[in-house]
Amino acid sequence: MSKSLAQLLFNPAAIALIGASGDPKKYTSRPQRFLRQYGYAGKILPVNPGRDEVLGEKAYPSILDVPGEV
């Protein structure tokens, strides 16, 4: 049975964060921090061509470089 649209939107297995930053002073660091802080258990996939890692997660230079489904 396939997942419903609501399941895909509200309980995703992975979330790609385009432009993710590790700098706590930047707004672009907040989504990743808040997802972990409030219990999101899925994969967080930061996308930032200038970083190898963002807040302890492997970063990808492009959304096209992210393995698997997002």
Identify the pLDDT of residue 64.
97
- Percent pLDDT > 90 in the chain is 80
User: What residues form DSSP beta bridges with 58?
Assistant: 53
Give dist(CA 50, CA 70) in Å, integer.
21
SS3 state of residue 6:
helix
Average pLDDT, the chain: 93
| 26: its two tokens | 């930047």
CA distance 44 to 36: 9
Domains and CATH numbers, the chain: 5-64 (3.40.50.720)
Can you tell me the mean pLDDT for 56-66?
Answer: 97
Q: Mean pLDDT, to the nearest integer, of 37-56?
A: 96
pLDDT above 60: residue 14: yes
User: Beta strand pairing status for 43-47 and 14-18?
Assistant: parallel
Q: Model-level pTM?
A: 0.84
Tell me the HSE value of 57 on the side-chain side, using a 13 A CA sphere.
25
